[in-house]
Amino acid sequence: MPNNLGFRSGHVVLQKFRIESTSVVEPGDMVYLDETHIRPASEMFWNTDLATTQQNFADVFVGIAHEGSDDGEDAPVSIDVSSASVYEFTVENGTYDNGNPLGPDGASSKLLNQQLAYADPATQAIARAAEFVDQMTTRLRVTFASAYSTGSANSNAAIG
């Protein structure tokens, strides 16, 4: 598997999660918890439109995969749940200011595993821009907010 991790700096907090054996996860994928197993963003059920699906994803967003898993594998993988890690991610072409709320981008009625787009309102966000870019760009440094880390800015973060 290619290493698309995109980690740039910050404090990483890795937790091991079980993965669904039918899921394929690459390093750098945004993943969510589906009851007891993680899955990549692209496997999230598409609900009506991008905004609604982003909100559903934010509710169960775990973090960024640091290890990959091929189809048929079910060994636990390390996921970064830290809100202090900075990653460089692909974003929709635009200008960005520090703190802009971002959620997974979508195409063909599915979320993309490693691409972000503006999220409005912020309750749909799982990430925030971590830099100011005043010219059009498709790469941006961001921080993430896991729903499974009470230290994150995810409005869905809770214990349990």
**Which residue is listed with tokens 């996921």?**
79
- The confidence band for 158, taking pLDDT boundaries of 50, 70 and 90, is very low
Q: With contact defined as beta carbons under 8 Å apart, do 50 and 106 qualify? A: yes
Predicted confidence at residue 156, as pLDDT, reads 53
Q: Is residue 153 part of a domain?
A: no
Gyration radius from the chain CA atoms: 14
Question: 15: domain CATH number?
Answer: 2.40.300
Sign (positive or negative) of CA dihedral 55, 111, 143, 20: positive
For residues 42 and 109, give the distance between their C-alpha atoms in angstroms, rounded to a whole number.
9
Beta-carbon count within 10 A of 78 CB: 16
Q: Is residue 2 part of a domain?
A: no
Question: What is the number of structural domains in the chain?
Answer: 1
Q: Is residue 156 part of a domain?
A: no
Give the bridge partners for 19, in sequence order.
38
In the predicted model, is pLDDT for residue 123 greater than 90?
no
Convert the pLDDT of each residue in 59-107 to its tens digit. Answer: 999 999 999 998 888 899 999 999 889 999 999 999 999 999 999 999 9
Kindly give, in sequence order, each residue whose CB lies less than 8 Å from that of residue 131, ignoring residues fewer than 6 positions away.
Answer: 96, 98, 140, 141
For residues 92 and 133, give the distance between their C-alpha atoms in angstroms, rounded to a whole number.
13
